[in-house]
Amino acid sequence: MPHESRSCSVPHSLSRRGFLAGLSAGAAGAGLAACASGAARDLEPGVEVPGDREGEASRLGSEKVPFGGEHQAGIATPFQAHLNLVAFSFRGEADRGAARRLMRLWTEDARRLCEGRAPLGDLEPEMVDAPANLTVTCGFGATFFDIIGRADARPEWLGPLPAFSRDRLDDRWGGADVVLQLCSDDPVTLSHATRHMIRAGVDYVSVRWFQQGFLNSDGTRPDNATPRNLFGQKDGTVNPRTREEFDDIVWIDEGPDWLRGGTALVVRRVAMDLDEWEMLDRTSREVVMGRTLDSGAPLTGEREFDTPDFEATDSYGLPVIDPASHVARSTNPKDAPHQKIRRRAFNYDLPPEPESGQTSNAGLIFICFQKNPLDQFVPIQRRLDEKDRLNQWITHIGSAVFACPPGVADEERGTARNDTGRDAYWGATLLED
């Protein structure tokens, strides 16, 4: 089957937005003038013109992220605008056979959805033909290994994280047997794909929790600009970006075969107290973060990606970046260069709980990927838990860890580790007898 993606040799973020960057202002102006002289007849400003262009591909809608590969998509993939993170519990007497059947089914269906094709049993091709960079990423929880009778294969880091003193964890956002991370730039596509995956697995698993998040839409910010969280901060400035960085930080390259090329997913649900945060003036907010709000630059720099200078002092001899600021506490120490993670966080904003007296119910679905959470997320979070000015306004209310198997073959065929050397479906090497 030919590979349908348009973006196999180009970072897809460039193909997504590169068109516009190349447009001269003159061309844009001419386009507008043409519109004004034509279709505006009989219409008032803001009134829509009926569209009747069946089957015409749109730009963003037709963008695809390759499904097969050495690693699962949705990890190094640039942020999409929308997230559904769904955790599942196996039903009743599930065993390795059930897990295998589920993974075969899910992998095949996810592949089709990401390629813009309706999975078997999905009678709505119109709901899948605009993948808009859809990715579906699968992870296994600690209990998954008991269900499949392979406790021996469970990574030592897989399980509840060590307790942090400030945690206020709610079990409703806790660990689960298996997780799917679905992301897309179109919320209708995402809704349908999520719905399909839940339904496809209904004989094997039921939903344990469901976290919905969002970021700035594609097209509303410049190419790859770092999205903002609901405190107005650029969120995700420090992230691996090159192949070497991902190899160093994210992709597991030792231990059991079934996990090589995979990674560890940590999800923390972080409530953000907007009511209190907004009491602060901007200077205080910037001191808390150690970065400016506008550009996201460290207080010792001018641009977002400048390296913070924690030694710099002001005219009084005081540090320019407060040692208790979020950037100072979260940056890895020089003697621990491996304490980095791939962040992929999304905002949530729900109606306030009735009777809570609060005006918001918002926060961050903090997702990160790394080789080993005990060596990466945990020491970072321990520093933040001990001291971080931001702690006054945030509370970790959910925590879960999953092991993401490596990517699968580019095509549907064969069994475990087919002739491409890749799994035929998620976890095939682990699940085949």
Cα–Cα distance measured from residue 389 to residue 131, given in angstroms and rounded to the nearest whole number:
40
Would you state the structure tokens that stand for residue 251, as one six-digit string?
């992709």
167 is a catalytic site residue: no
67, 68, 73, 367: which one binds a copy of itself (CB under 8 A): 73
Task: Please enumerate in sequence order all residues whose Cβ is within 8 A of that of 136, keeping only pairs 6 or more positions apart, or say none.
Answer: 67, 73, 74, 106, 110, 113, 114, 180, 181, 182, 193, 197
Residues in binding contact with a copy of itself, number by CB under 8 A: 120
- Site residues for a copy of itself, 190-219, by CB under 8 A, read 191-192, 194-195, 198-199, 202, 207, 209-210, 212, 214-219
Tell me how many helices (H) and strands (E) the chain has: 12, 9
- Establish if 151 lies at the interface with a copy of itself (CB under 8 A): no
335 binds a copy of itself (CB under 8 A): no
Nearer to a copy of itself, 103 or 183 (CB): 183
CB 80 within 8 Å of CB 347 = no
| From 235, 322, 388, 423, the catalytic residue | 235
Q: How far is the CB of 88 from a copy of itself (least distance, A)?
A: 11
Give residues 41-60 in contact with a copy of itself (rule: CB under 8 A): 42-54, 56-60
Q: Which of 107, 226, 330, 370 contacts a copy of itself by CB under 8 A? A: 226
Nearer residue to a copy of itself within complex by CB, 175 or 363 = 363
CB of 181 to a copy of itself, least distance (A): 15
Q: Which residues between 293 and 332 bind a copy of itself (CB under 8 A)?
A: 293-295, 303-305
- Classify residue 266 as exposed, middle or buried by CB count within 10 Å of its CB (0-12, 13-18, 19+): buried
Among 26, 123, 165, 254, binds a copy of itself (CB under 8 A): 123
Does residue 75 contact residue 250 with C-beta atoms inside 8 Å? yes
Long-range CB pairs of 300-304, under 8 A, 24+ apart, other chains included: 304/226, 304/234, 304/237
Among positions 240-269, residues that touch a copy of itself (CB under 8 A) are 241-244, 246
Q: Are 288 and 325 in contact (CB under 8 A)?
A: yes
For the bound state, the minimum distance from the C-beta of residue 102 to a copy of itself, rounded and expressed in Å, comes to: 15
As given in the structure block, the two tokens for residue 293 are 């709000």
Nearer to a copy of itself, 54 or 433 (CB): 54
**Closest approach of Cβ 282 to a copy of itself, in Å?**
5
Residues sharing a CB contact under 8 Å with residue 391, sequence separation 6 or more, in sequence order = 166, 384, 385
- C-beta neighbour count of 56 within 10 angstroms: 9
Q: Which of residues 2-31 bind a copy of itself (CB under 8 A)?
A: 6-15, 18-23, 27-28, 30-31
Q: How far is the CB of 189 from a copy of itself (least distance, A)?
A: 7
Q: Indicate which residues carry an active-site annotation.
A: 235
